[in-house]
Amino acid sequence: MGYKILAINPGSTSTKVALYDEERPLLELNLRHSTEEISRFAGVNDQLDWRRGLILSALREEAFDIRNLSAVIGRGGLIRPIPAGVYEVNSRMRYDLRNAQMKHACNLGGLLAAQIAHMAGVKAYIADPPVVDEMDDAARISGMPMCPRKPVFHALNQKATARLHCERMGWVYEESNLIVAHMGGGISVAAHKQGRIVDVNNALDGDGPFAPDRAGSIPSSELIKVCFSGQYTKEELLKFISSKGGLVAYLGTNSVIQVMERIAQGDQRAKKVLDAMCYNIVKQIGAMAAALSGSVQTIVLTGGIAYNEPVVEYIRERCSFIAPIAVYPGENELEALVTNALVVLRGVITPKVYK
């Protein structure tokens, strides 16, 4: 029998859990949380014990003893900017996860992993959290010194999918140049240059393409006027940027599938807005091609929206002149977490220390 790994990916309305024996999945669960359940808690941190109980209960129902685990790995949270890699969860990381300035369910990943790992007598890890920072200095500077550009994006899936594509092509990731576009509730488009993500839009806080529920880049002066109009509170505007913008703001839904159904029924407004989202994605891909000086081996499309063929075809028609298009639909984050834990357990790499 091989290494048993528990992977945990907490989201705003679900906790996804996977149990693997080496590369072989034994169990995959999507523990969904209703709005009523979540609303019982004052904040994200208050959900920790509750979510841990749900995970342990689900494992007991499957007759799995956590003492058989070799490691637990959780989705990384919004901690301090760090290079990509696998990190052992230590006391400093736990403190930063609990006290993160940006509140998001992903902050629970390392905490849940640490608590369950402690119970099982094994080590806990995170890998490639959303705050992975490998950006070139030029990419950090905006037009206002008090507003630097910061990477907050789908680093775990970006790195895992880029490595997977290179492996399939017989390339070495650390010697390859790729553009990876993760298209989900948020959209991040990154320039991967010889193993480093040298530029990427902030997919959470208002940068890059607008997405199903995020506003993306907004004309600055127009935003300032809205801020001082007296019509919205600070909290309302922040929600517009991070969870109430994009398709939600225009069409009342964050489901691209629903938007496509409306288009099929002749809804021209839905078509116009979806085309605009795709247009913004291809513009960002073009910008990342420039960041790589035009030296791009493949444009990789991933995330849930990559299942949508009309969106993929829109991008292919406008970006194939840059490089070939490769499509890897879905997030694949649990599998990516397990892969990262395995390379540590097998001694291929030494986990990094979070300072």
Q: pLDDT by residue (tens digit) across 312-322?
A: 999 999 999 99
Closest CA relative to residue 340, chosen from 86, 161, 156: 86
- 173: burial class by Cβ within 10 Å (0-12, 13-18, 19+)? middle
**H or E stretch at 151:** none
Distance separating alpha carbons of residues 171 and 162, to the nearest angstrom = 10
- Report residue 337 as tokens: 């977490």
Contact 20, 336 (CB under 8 A): no
Percent of the chain with pLDDT over 90: 92
Q: Which residues pair with 92 in a beta bridge?
A: none
Strand order in the sheet with 325-329: 196-200, 187-193, 177-183, 298-303, 325-329
Percent of the chain with pLDDT over 70: 100
The torsion angle over the Cα atoms of residues 165, 311, 247 and 44, rounded to 10 degrees, is -20
pLDDT at 156 over 70: yes
pLDDT at res. 1: 65
pLDDT at 11 over 90: no
pLDDT at res. 113: 98
pLDDT at 251 over 90: yes
pLDDT at res. 102: 84
Residue-wise pLDDT tens digits, 168-195: 999 999 999 999 999 998 999 999 999 9
The overall longest dimension of the chain from CA atoms, in Å, is 64
pLDDT at res. 103: 84
What rounded mean pLDDT belongs to the chain? 96
pLDDT at res. 76: 95
Mean pLDDT to the nearest integer, 104-126 = 97
Distance separating alpha carbons of residues 326 and 122, to the nearest angstrom = 38
pLDDT at 89 over 70: yes
pLDDT at res. 210: 97
pLDDT-derived band at 300, boundaries 50, 70, 90 = very high
Distance separating alpha carbons of residues 19 and 25, to the nearest angstrom = 6
pLDDT at res. 154: 95
Residue-wise pLDDT tens digits, 15-72: 999 999 999 999 999 998 887 898 899 989 999 999 999 999 999 999 999 999 999 9
